[in-house]
Amino acid sequence: MTSLPTSTDKKLGLVIDLDICVGCHACAVNCKEWNSGGHSAPMTDRDPYGAEPSGVWFNRIHTYEVTNDRDAGQSRTVHFPRSCLHCEEPACVTVCPTGASYKRAEDGIVLVNADTCIGCKLCSWACPYGAREFDEDDGVMKKCTLCIDKIYNENLDETDRVPACVATCPAGARHFGDLGDDSSDVSRMVAERGGYDLLPDMGYKPVNKYLPPRPRRAPQQETDTAATPGESGSDVASFLGWVDRMLSR
Amino acid sequence: MHPAPSVILFTVSSGAGYGALIWVGVAAAAAGLPPDRWLGFVLFLVALGLITIGLLSSLFHLGHPERAWRAVSQWRTSWLSREGVAALLTYIPALLFGAGWVLLGTNSGVWTVFGLLASGLAVLTVVCTGMIYASLKPIPAWNNRWVVPLYLLFALGSGGLLVALVAGLFGQSLSWLTWGAVLLLAVGWVAKSGYWRAMDDAHGRHDIRAATGLGRFGQVSALEAPHTSENYLLREMGFVIARKHAGRLKGIALGCGGAATLAAAGSALSAGGISVAAAGVAVALTAVALVIERWLFFAEARHAVTLFYGTLAV
């Protein structure tokens, strides 16, 4: 049924730390790997070895440049993983004419039933985040399942019961948990770091949160320390200053 | 948005069909159309034919057309489902009304009830079609108050012209209906140019700063794309049309639409063969204008997902 649950027992989702993400695409690759045998398998590729490969992926890693007049000439590079945010008000679910799209009342995960999806693509139009990708071969819509077949899988060790993207991230930039529980690790992380919603004005109330990059050290400080060698006039002092700067990074 | 031919054909063809059905029901109730069996047959062939062609064409848009029957189930939340329900329900009174007219040779009395019921459901179907687009928040060019009235105006205008043309071919002069179509189309094209101007002037409702949340740090631009070739998202929602081409196409649509409206006015003012010929010209030009207008409706609409790929605002 495409009517949304009035509330969900849990709000399972991801917290993505943009301060840490190094843009290695490992999450996207492991997501593809796990889900190629999972709930929404296969994740079809077309022309995979040709000139124009195109396929279904649940994770896409963008990279942005942020420039600011205040620190002229300096820009910040931010790697930005994008996947389904498992919104509390997912229009992708309510627009679905068949009931194939649904939001689970028990944990808030948004899923597609591939047996009843007619492939009208309207859900992908309704999602501002580009979370849904159409499988041309299967003729149905596919999306992130939050690794539903992994997080509840009792054949796995408990530590492995996290989404594939979280399990594989070498930098620890992705976290999984219940964002409806204020005392959970992920909720605390969001509170401490000022985790935010993407496109909040759209009103979809995403469950997934993004942690902003930490403020950069003031460039003023660096010029100050760079000036010290001249002032002290000692090579030893300037070497120690350099060691100090390197170690305190 | 990708201008899929199947959806353009569906909205233009079904729109005209429903518009025609609305006028047939109203005209019969107002005793404006004689219960001539052949006239009835051709009117219903045109109206229901266009509706059915459009609906079938929209089925080709689906990944699984054989499951289309499932689409009537979610009318509580989905405008697409509501459209499906309204479209199917419209057939019931329309076919009863048509059966009375064509088989029994009557379109008055209790039969007008079926006609008006068909008209009402047809209006509802067109409103649902418009609402499918108007309800999509990620597409500001659709998510506004212009969209539903424009769908209704063009459906009623083009449908009215069709009924006037068919009636004219059977020697029936329905100048009041032709004038109605002239008025609706004139208002429609004026409103459409207003819509185009409003969209050109719009500064964008959503921007890359809010999409990435990085606006607090400064100006955001896309540095590296997540993939090297196009994916589904870019093919479906990243369609871009050159402003220059859009401008030219709008000129052609307005030119054809305006000429059609004048031809329709000419048809209402004249009689006999000239009137019918003018109505025919009006129908043909309106069809061309509406196909271009609908193509632009999709091609020019920008989706919020493109923000993540570097579009600054939509």
User: Is B291 inside any structural domain?
Assistant: yes
Among B1, B6, B55, B64, most A C-beta atoms within 10 A, so best to mutate, is: B64
- B220 pLDDT more than 90: yes
Question: What angle separates helix A235-247 from helix A219-232, to the nearest 10 degrees?
Answer: 160
ipTM: 0.94
Q: Which residue is it, tokens 């049924």?
A: A1
Determine, yes or no, domain membership for B289.
yes
B 121-140 residues with CB < 8 A to A: 132, 135-139
**What is the C-alpha separation between A87 and A4, in angstroms, rounded?**
11
- Residues in chain B with CB shorter than 8 Å from the CB of A199 are 206, 210-211, 304, 307
Of A128, A20, A63, A216, which Cα lies nearest the Cα of B221? A63
* Residue B236 included in any domain: yes
Query: pLDDT tens, B52-78?
Result: 999 999 998 899 999 999 999 999 999
Q: Which residue of A has its CA nearest to B6?
A: A120
Residue B313 lies in a domain: no
Count structural domains, chain B.
1
For residue B247, with 0-12 CB atoms within 10 Å meaning exposed, 13-18 middle and 19 or more buried, which class applies?
exposed
Q: Which pLDDT belongs to residue A248? A: 81
State in words which class domain A12-211 has.
Answer: alpha beta
Provide CB contacts within 8 A for A160, sequence distance 6+: A150, A167
Nearest to B213 among A25, A133, A212 (CB): A212
Domain ranges across chain A = 12-211, 217-249
Of A76, A15, A58, A66, residue with least CA distance to B226: A58
pLDDT for A220 equals 59
Contact B217 A210 (CB under 8 A): no
Residue B15 lies in a domain: yes
State the residue range of the domain holding B28.
5-307
Burial class of A53 by CB neighbour count within 10 A (0 to 12, 13 to 18, 19+) = middle
Please list the residues that pair with A177 across neighbouring strands.
Answer: A13
Does residue B128 sit within a domain? yes
Could you read off the pLDDT of A191-212 as tens digits, one per residue? 999 999 999 999 999 999 999 9
How is residue B249 written in tokens? 């196409």
C-alpha A132/C-alpha B233 separation (Å) is 8
The CATH number assigned to the domain holding B299 equals 1.20.1630.10
What is the pLDDT confidence band of residue B34, given thresholds at 50, 70 and 90?
A: very high
